[in-house]
């Protein structure tokens, strides 16, 4: 059987790489005692940068649908990492704030993500990494414009 289509298909390779990136990071976090899904990690990274961001804006930035955002936020709230607060200016919207426990995750997560990134790009030159990012950004632009 000829598997050339899958092994040379950017779509297939991107999907497989994404799956392994997410699973690897979740496993690394779990080994360090942090039980978080890849969606929760994604949300936390934005909250570390902009605590109090609106749920709507968080959805726009992460490209996650409303159902996925709600599920991930429910888990973050149940673990006491974040909480939703009604927006005073727009009662239909909520702002998301890190709890003190959530704020404590910032440095350990950044450190683990850095280690994960190093292992993923092991034996890859900085020039190759820049080309990789440039191609991915072009693809993203092509798909979203």
Domain layout of the chain by residue ranges: 35-104
Q: Domain 35-104 is of which CATH architecture?
A: Orthogonal Bundle (1.10)
CA-closest candidate to residue 49, choices 106, 9, 126: 106
Confidence bin at 4 (pLDDT 50/70/90):
low
Are 4 and 69 in contact by the 8 Å Cβ rule? The answer is no
Q: What's the confidence (pLDDT) of residue 110?
A: 94
CA dist., res. 56 & res. 93, Å (int): 7
Residues sharing a CB contact under 8 Å with residue 99, sequence separation 6 or more, in sequence order = 80, 81, 82, 83
> What pTM, to 2 d.p., does this model score?
0.84
pLDDT, tens digit, 9 for 90 and up, residues 22-42: 999 999 999 999 999 999 999
pLDDT interval class at 3 (50, 70, 90): low
Query: Above pLDDT 90, what percent of the chain?
Result: 73
Cα separation of 49 and 70, whole Å?
20
């Amino acid at each position: 059987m000829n598997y050339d289509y899958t092994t040379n298909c950017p779509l297939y390779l991107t999907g497989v790489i994404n799956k392994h990136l997410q699973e690897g990071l979740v496993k690394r976090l779990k080994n360090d005692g942090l039980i978080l899904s890849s969606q929760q990690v994604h949300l936390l990274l934005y909250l570390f940068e902009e605590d109090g961001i609106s749920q709507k804006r968080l959805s726009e930035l992460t490209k996650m649908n409303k159902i996925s955002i709600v599920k991930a936020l429910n888990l973050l709230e149940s673990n006491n990492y974040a909480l939703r607060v009604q927006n005073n200016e727009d009662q239909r919207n909520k702002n998301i704030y890190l709890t003190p426990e959530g704020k404590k995750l910032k440095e350990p997560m950044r450190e683990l993500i850095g280690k994960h990134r190093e292992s993923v790009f092991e034996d890859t030159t900085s020039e190759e990494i820049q080309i990789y990012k440039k191609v991915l950004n072009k693809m993203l632009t092509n798909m979203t414009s």
